[in-house]
Amino acid sequence: MKKAVVGFSDSSALAKKIARQVKAKYSELELKKFPDGETYLRFKDDIKGKEVIFIESLNNPNEKIFNLILASHTAKELGAKKLTLVAPYMCYMRQDKRFNSGEAISSKIIGKLFHNFNKIITVDPHLHRYKSLKQVFSGNPVRLSANELISSYIKKNLKNVLIIGPDAESYQWAEEIAKHVKSHAIVLRKRRFNSRSVKIRLNNNVSLKGKDVVIVDDIISTGHTMIETVKEAKKHKAKNIYCIAVHGLNVENAYLKLKKLGVKKIIATNTIPGKDSLIDVSGLISESLK
Ligand code: R5P
């Protein structure tokens, strides 16, 4: 089946790269706003009989989700044979339970809204209470991991580092990366009070004196998780501190705050574009599309 790669908004650079790698035609979706704020959407190329691969990272997600719903319905009507959604960063995965009565379990709703896609591919989704993406998305959702790419980056650029995971949820990144780089992982304890307030603790008897540490996590959003972890690492006398995330959302100047604390370098993958998004996931995604 012929493939057509369709990109929009800030994922278009990654989408073009992936289109080249899978030898498919790239086309941009035409999106405009009517004067009253409604969305106009048009496919510029013929997609009849093809597998249409939408590539869109779902940071700042709300409008993108709506565009994807319009696009997937339209693609079906235009005769596309298969619809694949590549969302390198999958949104709303952290809202995986009703923490307070009356709340939306947003991840489940997103799963239902994306029912038109025959296949969903994402990189390191925030799976915590869900054990599998199948609990959220129908069809055969594919969960890729950037752990090996992150490990290669560390091996190439940093020497003798200790890996730190800020909280219990991060063990799946910290421990695997530590194994790849032949180091150790320390996973800290986190208590979250609200979106901008967390407390992170490292056992008092652990000394990081003179050690270079890499704090790894899936997401840097407001940066508070990293900030508190950096403070703990400094308290325990770490020498050089690096922060690596799969998805650098970098909300509310998170990176700047981390740099002001003395973090040597902040690195993310390019699931979300940015000047610090140095680890390229395009090959990983392309492989899964072949
Ligand atoms: C949550 O457990 C995630 O793994 C991240 O630690 C969290 O989402 C990061 O958010 P923030 O940067 O706002 O602390």
Q: Do residues 81 and 59 share a domain? A: yes
Within-domain flag for 61: yes
Determine the average pLDDT of the residues in 116-122: 97
Q: Do residues 207 and 128 share a domain? A: no
Q: Do residues 107 and 198 share a domain? A: no
pLDDT in tens, 241-287: 999 999 999 999 999 999 999 999 999 999 999 999 999 999 999 99
Ligand 1 mean position to 221 CA, how many Å?
A: 6
- What residues contact 256, with CB distance under 8 A and at least 6 apart? none
C-alpha closest to that of 53 among 77, 26, 78? 26
Q: How high does pLDDT run on average in the chain?
A: 96
Ligand 1 mean position to 219 CA, how many Å?
A: 5
Within-domain flag for 86: yes
Bridge partners for 185 per DSSP: 163
Task: Give the pLDDT band (50/70/90) at residue 56.
Answer: very high
Q: Do residues 170 and 205 share a domain? A: yes
Provide the token pair at 167.
């909280």
Provide the token pair at 16.
């073009």
Q: Do residues 26 and 36 share a domain? A: yes
Q: Do residues 108 and 252 share a domain? A: no
Q: Is ligand 1 within 6 A of the CB of residue 125?
A: no
Vertex 159 angle, CA 156 and 164, to 5°: 100
Which CATH number belongs to the domain containing residue 260 in this structure?
Answer: 3.40.50.2020
Provide the token pair at 249.
């959302």
**Domain of 152, in residue numbers:** 147-270
Q: Do residues 164 and 259 share a domain? A: yes
Q: Do residues 223 and 120 share a domain? A: no
Q: Do residues 89 and 164 share a domain? A: no
Provide the 3-class DSSP secondary structure of residue 197: strand
Within-domain flag for 276: no
C-alpha closest to that of 245 among 265, 274, 267? 267
Asked if 89 contacts 119 with a C-beta cutoff of 8 angstroms, the reply is no
Give how many domains the chain has, as a whole number.
Answer: 2
Q: Is ligand 1 within 6 A of the CB of residue 223?
A: yes
- What residues contact 58, with CB distance under 8 A and at least 6 apart? 64, 65, 87, 89, 90, 91, 92
Q: Do residues 126 and 164 share a domain? A: no
